[in-house]
Amino acid sequence: MLFSAVPPERLPRPDRPGTAWSVRVADRPLVFTAAITAPVFGGADEEARAALAELDAVVRAAGGDPAGLLRLNALVGADADLAAVEAAVARRFAETPVAFTLVRTPLAAAGRRVAFEAVAPGGGAPAEGGLAGGRAAVLPAGGKVFVSGQAEKGADVAEAVRLTMAGLHRTLAHLGLGAADVVQIKAFLAPFADHAAAGREVAASFGGGPVPPLVLLEWVSSLPAEIELIAAARNLPTPPGDQVAWLPLPWLSVSPRFCRVAHVGAGVPLIFLGGIDGEGSGDARGQMKRIFEQIGSALYEAGSSYRNLVKATYYLGDARARGELGEIRGVYFDPTRAPSASALEVRSLGQPGRGARIDLIAFPVK
């Protein structure tokens, strides 16, 4: 396989081996995966190592470079398994630190302890059947869109997912895109036990066509589902100025805290920031202040800024964290350039005292 001669730029985190504050990559094909589990059952360490090996195989089959992984999210079912998963990641990425976020959630794969979903450099030739089964998709070089989480009310998870996917397909049509452009979908569900119904509704929304990689997470909410997606936008005109646009949708409300769609034009590099939390320092307000200070430092060191964000995911430990997040975004974000976003309250952040964790995608300041 041939890959770009320009390797990603990584800013390692000395306090967390194998992980990076940020990873910057030029505009090039990228491989997005579904949540990948181990082909065998075992202890947390064994499953984590086997799941990472399976992830490598999935990325390689899609024409990607598993040795150069950019972003890695670990979905872990139990707090007791977190240390083993983090240790496996530290060993695997000791020489090439990855933008890493650890997420506590039940898993759709029955009996599994951990799953990994990732973004990797692409550009190689996919193996025959390498994209089959919805386990990976290639985002081509060029324009791309990040669509914020959307949610429609339904009597249950199945109905909510069906209605929400209809809304997302409406968004794609409004942008001049189609189902074939989607490269990854993330759905946040309550109750998570209905994940199989959610998966069926997502697949049905593609009308028998290929279903992109799907990642399912639990959230704590009165709404059964919220869903976000990433899609290729090679045929859309490049936005002027910074070559990035933060867009509303005419039928949805406008917020100064997030945009409905972030459109990144061709040629714009991406910067992936791993999950940043408040390290248990104080109450919800103190932790949120600490998180945003660290984000600011990470963006600065990566050559970016708060005005150059295109995607944010907020994992919130309780309602107090959500309230503080709403306030602090008003201080740091430019309301005309706020990123696309999803915010989900979770049952645990895996470590005592953690109130929130945030990961981001940005682009460089020119």
pLDDT in tens, 37-96: 999 899 999 999 999 999 999 999 999 999 999 999 999 999 999 999 999 999 999 999
Residue 124: pLDDT band with limits 50, 70, 90: confident
The mean pLDDT of 19-31, rounded to a whole number, is: 98
Is the pLDDT assigned to residue 216 strictly greater than 50? yes
Is the pLDDT assigned to residue 352 strictly greater than 90? no
The mean pLDDT value of the chain amounts to 95
- Residue 216: strand, helix, or coil: strand
DSSP assignment of 342-364 equals: EEEE-S--SSTT--EEEEEEE--
Domains, the chain, ordered by start: 9-125+134-139 (3.30.1330.40), 144-235 (3.30.1330.40), 270-362 (3.30.1330.40)
262 touches 245 (CB < 8 A): yes
Question: CA of 156: how far to CAs of 131, 147, 196, 330, 333, in Å?
Answer: 31, 23, 13, 33, 35
Strands (E), the chain: 9-12, 20-25, 30-33, 36-37, 71-76, 99-104, 114-121, 136-139, 144-150, 182-189, 214-218, 225-232, 244-247, 261-264, 270-277, 309-316, 340-345, 356-362
Distance of CA 88 to the CA centre of its chain: 20
Q: Is the pTM of this model over 0.75?
A: yes
Query: Rounded to whole angstroms, how far apart are CA atoms 28 and 2?
Result: 13
Closest CA to 212 of 151, 159, 308, 139: 139
Output the pLDDT for position 353.
Answer: 80
pLDDT digits (tens, 9 = 90+) for 260-271: 999 999 999 999
Query: Rounded to whole angstroms, how far apart are CA atoms 297 and 94?
Result: 23
Is the pLDDT assigned to residue 4 strictly greater than 70? no
Is the pLDDT assigned to residue 3 strictly greater than 90? no
Tokens of 162: 């069906």
Peptide bond between residue 191 and the one before it cis (omega within 30 degrees of 0): yes
Q: What is the DSSP letter of 131?
A: T
